[in-house]
Structure 1
């Protein structure tokens, strides 16, 4: 009973502190991606301060370019939305009888308010990003003395080192497989002459970090644009290529590269998506796997909790 009460208190505490912890989680996990770049510059013989400056500057430049491209694409989509709305209306008229059977209501479709709401939050997104960049900067700057601090912090630094290596391995591999997914999707939709190839490719890249449902959500806009521009046949072909790309990369290539690094059951990954999504919102869905992996590593290094770690395997 005491254990159960402790679990509920911890969950409540995480939920209560989530607005603060989100920035900490983003900073820590983003630093795992940037530390290999920082080490790359150092291994080339550059001084630490120059390597540090190059890493942060490169990250900020890439973020700025992507932000500009995304905003340009979204502005263009809002401008062209009446055209897409008209095409969708014509498509619905064409299949009116079939849609009436499922009580489909065309008037319910209006995604412009959601996009405008997203763009309206640009200020809060930028301020949050600045906090994360500051956190990443400090973590990156102290990465060279990480092992020394771990030795001082714990008599058994092995758990921290394994956590660091496992999570960093996951993020680096996931980043490159997601990037490959985004590039393949971008090329695919461009070859079908579908608008916003960069935006759709970026969606495929970023949502691939969300396990189970991320790739499905990322495919919806591309299929929708293929449907209203070129019809059902084109939408079916685009759907097939989305499936081929995601199965080839996420289900074949990624597990081969990852090896036995995760050792998490598919059911655990699915329920962790729901749990961490509840605790940390959308950020929790992106980091569901590394957070669960971290929890499993913490549990397996205590004799009292090893059985719980095995349940997650």
Structure 2
């Protein structure tokens, strides 16, 4: 009770950090984190590749456990499946890349002949000799080999450090024997975190399955077309088409450039045009018409965000970052957005457009105009 003449001391106001300062701190933390990832790209890339492969074969362990097999049996099956993928793909790439490096020098005379024709055409168009020399002095078969080596270096670099990747896969496979029990505890204690991790695993696995199936189809068709056209090393270019199918938006362009250039050196401009046309038709029909009808959107990311993730992760992790751009973005999304129920509304802004079935489901869930409940609802 306040006595007459006694004044009350106002309660101190709760101190809070200004929203602008929070944004600045978040940006600073992001810059430091990105710098750290770029500095340790040689470790983070293989680590995340091992995680993706472990997630891809986790259903094998789950299938074995449901059949009553020992946990170690499922672990051995999953680890063996991953090793077959790594050894088969890495061996085929290494052998094909060696064949390419040994054959390209044979086309030096053909390249010089093409350059002479190009030089004559530019001179006839009124271009000075100095400008022609400056434009063509950097074109060399050896540099073409270097560009192709750099293109495949991000993938082959992982296989050069195969012991590290295999060790990670083995440890993750052992941990995968008890992942169901661990996730049940997380679901009980922190359901939001369990939801985010589960959505990340499901989205990543769906993306890998879709990209693998349709990448294999594209690789077979591209390789068969190159073999019929007589383009050298069709197996290498088929493997390149398969790998670049994991690169969103621009994977097709990366995959068509090397065989088109080799077709130019081997058979002239006509063969190069045929390669470009056939690649374009195959990839357009499969990736733009057939694939969406069967699988729809595989990961729930908008086209703009997918392209930006490709640019960002390529800059941070190199060639391997381009291949793993979508799964890496799904992991960041799970840790920063899906993990907090109050921020999941961001999915509406960064996700892919709703399908017709999703729109119909959403319309059925909304009450009709006027606030009256929908028929059949209490």
TM-score when normalising by structure 2: 0.72
Measured in 2, the distance between the counterparts of 1:293 and 1:50 equals: 30
Structure 1 residue 59: Cα displacement: 3.5
Query: CA deviation digits over 1:254-288, x for unaligned, max 9?
Result: 32333244222211111111222233222222122
Secondary structure at 1:81 match in 2: helix
The answer to whether residue 136 in structure 2 is matched with residue 105 in structure 1 is yes
Q: CA deviation at 1:208?
A: 1.4
Q: 1: CA distance between counterparts of 2:115 and 2:277?
A: 23
C-alpha distance in structure 1 between counterparts of 2:74 and 2:347, whole Å: 38
What's the offset of the Cα at 1:106?
A: 5.3
CA contact (8 A) 2:72 2:177 kept: no
- Which shifted more, 294-303 or 193-202? 294-303
Q: Answer yes or no: is 1:245 the counterpart of 2:245.
A: no
2:165 to 123, 132, 143: 132
Looking at structure 2, the residues matched to 171 and 306 of structure 1 have their Cα atoms a distance apart, in angstroms, of: 24
CA distance in 2, matches of 1:55, 1:243: 36
How far does the alpha carbon of each residue in 1:197-248 deviate from its partner, in whole angstroms, 9 at most, with x for none? 1111111111111112221011011111111111212211110111112112
Query: Quick one: structure 1 residues 119 and 165, their matched pair in 2 at CA, closer, same or farther if it must change by over 3 Å?
Result: closer
SS in 2 for 1:108: coil
In structure 2, the gaps of 5 or more residues are 1-19, 352-378
Q: Which moved more, 1:121-130 or 1:4-13?
A: 121-130
Query: Rg: which structure is higher?
Result: 2
The secondary structure found in structure 1 opposite 2:225 is helix
Separation in 2 of the partners of 1:138 and 1:303?
32
Distance 1:301 1:122, change over 3 A: closer
Count of equivalent residues: 313
**Which structure has the highest helix share of the two?**
1
| Maintained 8 Å contact 2:221/2:282 | yes
- Tell me what 1:212 maps to: 249
Which residue of the partner structure matches residue 76 of structure 1?
99
Q: Say yes or no: does 1:151 pair with 2:174.
A: no
- Equivalent residue, structure 1, for 2:355: none
2:221 pairs, out of 172, 184, 197, with 184
RMSD, matched Cα = 3.1
Which consecutive residues of structure 1, in runs of 5 or more, have no partner in the other structure?
none
Once the two structures are superposed, what CA deviation does each residue of 1:144-192 show, in whole Å capped at 9, x if it has no partner? 4223212333521222222211211111111111122222211111111
| Inter-partner Cα distance in structure 1 for 2:264 and 2:247 | 25
Q: Is the 8 A contact 1:188 1:241 kept in 2?
A: yes
5 Å-filtered alignment, 1:1-313, equals 1=20, 2-18=22-38, 19=40, 20-39=43-62, 47-99=70-122, 103=132, 104-105=135-136, 107-109=138-140, 110-113=143-146, 125-126=158-159, 128-153=161-186, 154-156=189-191, 157-298=194-335, 299-313=337-351
